[in-house]
Amino acid sequence: MRWPEKVCPAGPVREQKLTADPKISQAESPGSPGLPEPVNGNRQLNSMVSGTAGRRYSGFDLWLHRLTVLMFVFVCAVVGVLLVIVPWRPEWTDNRLLLSYPGLRAIFASGFVRGLCSGLGVLDVWIGFWEAVHYHEGN
């Protein structure tokens, strides 16, 4: 089946048809199925349409990306551990901010709020370690 050509600002494109054949690999089929394939060979248009531009880092940008991921993992781990430990310490309710508000102090002293904060801490630690384990440089 032949699809009609369409006109877009970057030039004419023709749409690919979907295939249900599992034997065809991604390497054999150019572009993403169902998305327009550039006629004039402009792959940048296809990556913008599909949203998979595939950022590749090099040099300074690579080290900056690595440092950013490392700092994100470190901050997630520290904040998560603090959220797990601090709600169960006496400083959680016996502080200057809560001494003048006894109702708010009773709410913060409840096991539900403490458990909620600890659960958020565990979730934060999980997110940090998940990012560390699933880190890849896109090569």
Burial class of residue 112, CB neighbours in 10 A (0-12, 13-18, 19+): exposed
| Residues 45 and 68 occupy one common structural domain | no
For every one of its 139 residues, what pLDDT tens digit does the chain have, with 9 covering 90 and above? Answer: 555 555 555 555 555 555 566 666 555 545 555 555 545 555 554 444 444 445 666 788 889 989 999 999 999 999 999 999 999 999 998 888 888 899 999 999 999 999 999 999 999 999 999 999 998 876 5
Residue 52's pLDDT is what?
A: 40
Residue type, 69: V
| Residues 119 and 70 occupy one common structural domain | yes
| Residues 86 and 129 occupy one common structural domain | yes
For residue 63, give both structure tokens: 């080290």
On whether residue 111 sits in a domain, the answer given is: yes
On whether residue 95 sits in a domain, the answer given is: yes
| Residues 67 and 42 occupy one common structural domain | no
| Residues 16 and 37 occupy one common structural domain | yes
On whether residue 43 sits in a domain, the answer given is: yes
| Residue of 71, 60, 12, 54 whose CA lies nearest to 36 | 12
- Stretch (H or E) spanning 78: helix 60-85
On whether residue 127 sits in a domain, the answer given is: yes
| Residues 19 and 73 occupy one common structural domain | no
Supply the range of the domain harboring residue 20: 6-50
Place of tokens 């001494």: 99
Strand partners, 77: none
Query: For residue 61, what are the contacts with CB-CB under 8 A and spacing of at least 6?
Result: none
Residue 69's pLDDT is what?
A: 93
Nearest-angstrom CA–CA distance, 21 and 39: 24
Dihedral of CA atoms 91, 92, 98, 99 in degrees, nearest 10, equals -40
On whether residue 1 sits in a domain, the answer given is: no
The pTM of the full predicted model, rounded to 2 decimals, is 0.55
Contact 4, 23 (CB under 8 A): no
The number of folded domains in the chain is: 2
On whether residue 138 sits in a domain, the answer given is: no
Residue 132's pLDDT is what?
A: 92
